[in-house]
Amino acid sequence: MNYDEAFRMSIDEPERFWGEVAEGLDWHRKWDQVLDFTDPPHYRWFVGGELNTCYNALDRHCENGRGDQIALIYDSPVTGGTIEKFTYSEIRHRVARFAGALRDQGVEKGDTVVIYMPMIPEALVAMFACARIGAIHSVVFGGFAPKELAIRIDDAKPKVIVSASCGIEGKKIIPYHPLLDQAIDIAEWKPDHVIMYQRPEVTSDMVEGRDLDWNEVVDAAEPADCVPVKATDPLYILYTSGTTGIPKGVVRDNGGHAVALLWTMKHIYGIEPGDIWWTASDVGWVVGHSYIIYAPLLLGATTVMYEGKPIGTPDAGAFWRVISEHGVKVMFTAPTAFRAIKREDPEGEFMSKYDLSKFETLFLAGERTDPDTYFWATKLLGVPVYDHWWQTETAWAITGNFRDLTTFEVKPGSATMPVPGYDVHILDPDGKELPRGQEGIIGVKLPLPPGCFTGLWQNEKRYIESYMDPFPGYYFTGDGGYIDEDGYVFVMGRVDDVINVAGHRLSTGAMEEIISHHPDVAECAVVGAHDKLKGQVPIGFVVLKKGATTPEEEILTDLVQRVRGEVGPIACFKQAAFVDRLPKTRSGKVLRGTIRKIADGANYSTPSTIDDPTSLDEIEDAVGTIGYGKED
């Protein structure tokens, strides 16, 4: 089946399309109805069906003769080069025992469990153990600030919290137990127990009566069998940032999620059972949920779990080593990772040390892949580089390119075509569809395909107001962009990243793209700062490539001329500051909203997701050195 056939069937005959995909899973009870349309905007997939996600990801492979195949490769340069490999049988055994340990602590089907762990195999075990017994897991990124963790504890109300004694960020060891203790003290909800995995780098002091040692509870437990759940029952809650500052608990179901992720591994990424697949992300993010944990194992592939960084663990060749050493076929990571490598090693000298002959494709997502990064990575690697666009709410790609369906020519700056299942439209503020080539708000016509969120945890009102009310009949993505004459989708950034300069609506993403083309620029962020005369004016924050020798004044003049030439004088782009690094989340997204507040002189709080809080000090210093808001 080619792309056109698959896309047409997914939109015109969604029940037939996804029903055929679902036959590739093992069901305890087959569904009564593939898609329930009766209560829009609440659409439900595989109603009446029962299955178990853990069984489909582990047990069925063992029962079908793949038990001795490697399921997980754990690669941890931050612990001195630890590499461990686990077969499907070994992972199933560990998961069943830990599921038994959870059951011994009173965790049952429908209960919630918060997982607060670093990138270690036990995180995968804990997630699958919850799925095995029908419990709902909520993974919180390891090292999150106590206040933010407490908010999530109060919202999820976990019976048990699973954690580890520490995480390791580069060379820095971060004890988790003190952070967790503070969070539990702050939270109104108190878990019955904390199960703590003691890492050799740090030994936690246990709270008597509350804390339990991972190894001790596992040793005392009997393996638990898989518990069938309804396809529409929640698999997990994942918290994502909200405009109010209060996180939104995205709810994922079991049935639609398993069906969609199974389809994507072959048709988007070209992965077959037994292939080596690596997603360089974290289990605390949606990418980690979907493509470190669930999708590769649902298919029967081998997944790599990497506890390290693209640079500094130990150098800018870290990614090339992992790909070479483990024979990775396809990799998925964020553009930020490659911008970091490009900055440290612009000529790609580290890559020459490694054999990448088994590596076939690089997929990028998390934020827009600027054309300069695309061209650099494509030239360096000599393999296809594909940008694709998706969100925490969707769990998988909305637009992208395909290794198994039709493979489209890449247009740098575009996330290519809508993925089958997503009916993408460009809307004006009144909800009217705009013609091709005209920029507007990206909406997806309902129903969303399987695997997308089914709501927000115990917050129906916010779900409707945030996502369904803005454009009735559409899912409001919050992103702006356009579809060109060939059907390619260009995602230009969040709608709130569109600035209004003297009545002209301009995309900061378009300006970032122009600035990123400069040969000395590694990465940049452009935000709109308040201006009494023009409403807003754009300010750039620019990171130069390592070894750049051109004077900053000369670079700035060139950047201003480039933006003026391609966007026009109406952009009023005149000011930029050069910084050593941009403030980012741990998943690599630039904190543009926080940068904007700093530029406006507004009060802001340090986001709990930030990778390095000191980067905000640098932005503050940079803002203090430049002037803006002057009449053009």
Per residue in 132-156, pLDDT tens? 999 999 999 887 778 889 999 999 9
Question: What is the rounded CA–CA span in Å between residue 441 and residue 18?
Answer: 28
Q: Residue 563 has which token pair?
A: 């933006």
User: How many alpha carbons lie under 13 Å from residue 105 in its C-beta half-sphere?
Assistant: 30
- Tell me, what's the pLDDT at 628? 45
Residue 444's closest CA among 364, 485, 389, 369? 389
Question: What is the rounded CA–CA span in Å between residue 430 and residue 497?
Answer: 19
| Residue that is written with structure tokens 């695997």 in the block | 451
Question: What is the rounded CA–CA span in Å between residue 152 and residue 119?
Answer: 20
Ramachandran region of residue 447, left (φ > 0), alpha (ψ -120 to 50) or beta?
beta
Average pLDDT, the chain: 92
pLDDT digits (tens, 9 = 90+) for 421-463: 999 999 998 899 999 999 999 999 999 999 999 999 999 999 9
At residue 316, φ and ψ (nearest 5 deg) are -75, 5
Question: What is the rounded CA–CA span in Å between residue 63 and residue 380?
Answer: 42
User: In what order do the strands lie in the sheet containing 70-76?
Assistant: 82-87, 70-76, 302-306, 276-279, 330-333, 361-364, 385-387
pLDDT band of 361, cuts 50, 70, 90: very high
Residue range(s) defining the domain that contains residue 587: 502-625
Cα 231 versus chain centre, distance: 23
pLDDT digits (tens, 9 = 90+) for 23-76: 999 999 999 999 999 999 999 999 999 999 999 999 999 999 999 999 999 999
Question: What is the rounded CA–CA span in Å between residue 231 and residue 256?
Answer: 7
Quick one: average pLDDT of 282-292? 94
Neighbours of 59 (CB within 10 A): 21
Above pLDDT 90, what percent of the chain?
76
Whether pLDDT at 533 is above 60? yes
Question: What is the rounded CA–CA span in Å between residue 258 and residue 419?
Answer: 17
- List the CATH number of the domain containing 599: 3.30.300.30
Q: Does residue 610 fall inside a structural domain?
A: yes
Q: Does residue 18 fall inside a structural domain?
A: no
Whether pLDDT at 551 is above 80? yes
Quick one: average pLDDT of 605-624? 85
pLDDT: which is higher, 224 or 630? 224
| Residue that is written with structure tokens 């109406």 in the block | 570
pLDDT: which is higher, 485 or 243? 485
- Tell me, what's the pLDDT at 604? 83
| 29 close to 49: Cβ distance less than 8 angstroms | yes
Q: Does residue 194 fall inside a structural domain?
A: no
Whether pLDDT at 632 is above 60? no
Q: Does residue 470 fall inside a structural domain?
A: no
Q: Which helix (H) or strand (E) holds 509?
A: helix 508-516
Judged by average pLDDT, the poorest of 28-37, 106-115, 242-251 is: 242-251
Question: What is the total count of domains within the chain?
Answer: 1
Whether pLDDT at 122 is above 70? yes
Residue ranges in 524-613 assigned as alpha helix (H): 552-566, 592-600
Q: Does residue 546 fall inside a structural domain?
A: yes
| 469 close to 461: Cβ distance less than 8 angstroms | no
| Residue that is written with structure tokens 């089914």 in the block | 454
| 395 close to 289: Cβ distance less than 8 angstroms | yes
Whether pLDDT at 518 is above 90? yes
Quote the Cα angle for 320-321-323, to 5°: 65
- Tell me, what's the pLDDT at 505? 58
Q: Does residue 161 fall inside a structural domain?
A: no
| Residue that is written with structure tokens 């700093």 in the block | 598
Q: Does residue 600 fall inside a structural domain?
A: yes
